[in-house]
Chain A
Amino acid sequence: MTERVVIVGGGTGGTVLANDLADRLEPELDAGDVEVTLINDDPDHVYKPVWLYVPFGQREPADGRRALDELVDEAVDLRIDRVTEIDTDARRLRFDGGEPSMEYDHLVLATGSTLEPDRVPGLAEGGHDYYSESGATALRDELLEFTEGELVLSVVGTPHMCPAAPLEFVFMADDWFRERGLREDVDITYTYPIQRVHGNPHIAEWARPIMEERDIEVETFFNAESVDSDAETVTSMEGTELDYDLLVTIPPHGGVDLIEAAGLGDDGWVDVDKHTLEAEAAEDVYALGDTADTGVPNAGSVAHYQAGVVGRRLASEVRGRPATATYDGKTLCFVETGMDSASFVEFDYETPPSPAPPSEKLHWSKLAYNESYWLTARGLL
């Protein structure tokens, strides 16, 4: 009997896992004992970190896209389709447009995050974002024209992808306007939902003085409740109203609906054991990357490490051995602190982060990582 491993989602986590399995299970795949299928709803693989640079005119969205069939090992069966239903009792997936359903023996969900701006009235009309390809290009057009006024960056909800990216955006904007001699005419305000500037207290403690030094205004305990795009104001649940000329938001995030419908977790995130990444509510289901509710940041580095763990566990299971590999919460992030400097943090479930002093070298390391990302996705790095 051929064992069927099905991965839903061909983003960072799903693609790294598919290539990892192609390598790890090569003999079993060659012998036809195992089949690995990767399903993605877009023929392209999208590398989202590129979007941070698009508004500043430094990268193009196309730099973050590659055809999946160029990235995925040919031993993997690649299917471009959207999964619309998961039945974990029958171990079956259903698709968009009435395609025949597919059965699995092992399922991995790597469906990532979805932006949900509609959760805040007026946000979609009044706010810009760089968390989507179209958002990043529209924001670029606005930012290039923006020479004076109030720029507000509002983190509307957590969890969201890349908790470092809101800090990076205001640090980069500050530096970018300074370099262009416009900083005196531009006010920058950063808002965050809780009482500090970042969810992680250590990163918050590190970032706050940099913001003060750079004259970036801070509003904490600011949960945007509504945006009035005519009056150009954003009002928080805490009763604060801010005027803006350009509003950039990190919109509320959710997972994908089919996860909740399948009873695997709330808001589209899969409840998992945070060490084994096994779904709590069903047998033979793993989740990794943004969609796995482990409490660690929604970051590509996390998806990458988790893919390695799930790859090792699945290989053991397919070979009939107990799975022993576990995820320890490892997270790595480069944090841009300007147009040519960056910091770096590394942490896990046990060890808190301690951000490195910003340097030009770390900035180049981040850009070098972005360039070599395609090797990561192929499973070569």
Chain B
Amino acid sequence: MTDIEPDETVDARGAACPGPLMDLIGAIRGAESGDVVRLLSDSEGSLTDVPEWAEEAGNELLAVEELDDHNAFYVEKA
């Protein structure tokens, strides 16, 4: 478990790839610099999509939490 407090949570469980990444991008678009967005996704693709995009966009992927049937990604907007 992480103790990171997200400013916003996006629940993209059930959405197929690239839905979760697009939901994250949408949330980051609206966030302030320094805000942490938590993305919940049960799509396998997110495990590669999200880190790749975070790096490309210069945002920091703080943590990936493995939960029962999905993952939680914590991304801080640069």
Contacts and interface: CB of A to CB of B under 8 A. Distances in A.
Contacts of A199: 17-18
Given A237-B25, A295-B15, A195 B52 contact: yes
> Interface majority SS on B: helix, strand, loop or mixed?
helix
A218 interface: no
Nearest to B26: A157
B57 A221 contact: yes
B44 interface: no
Given A195-B53, A221-B53, A237 B29 contact: yes
B29 A194 contact: no
Contacts of B19: 159, 295
Interface residues of B, number: 17
B58 A158 contact: no
Give the contact-size bracket for chain A.
Answer: 10 to 19
Nearest to A267: B26
A223 B15 CA distance: 20
Contact of B18 (A194, A225, A237): A194
A223 B49 contact: no
B61 interface: no
24 contacts: A157-B22, A157-B26, A193-B18, A193-B22, A194-B21, A194-B22, A194-B53, A195-B52, A195-B53, A195-B56, A199-B17, A221-B53, A221-B56, A221-B57, A223-B25, A223-B57, A225-B29, A237-B25, A237-B29, A237-B57, A238-B57, A295-B15, A295-B16, A295-B19
> Interface majority SS on A: helix, strand, loop or mixed?
loop
Given A237-B25, A295-B15, A295-B19, A194 B58 contact: no
B29 to A, nearest CB: 7
Given A223-B29, A225-B29, A194 B49 contact: yes
A98 interface: no
Best-buried of B15, B16, B56 by chain A (most CB within 10 Å): B56
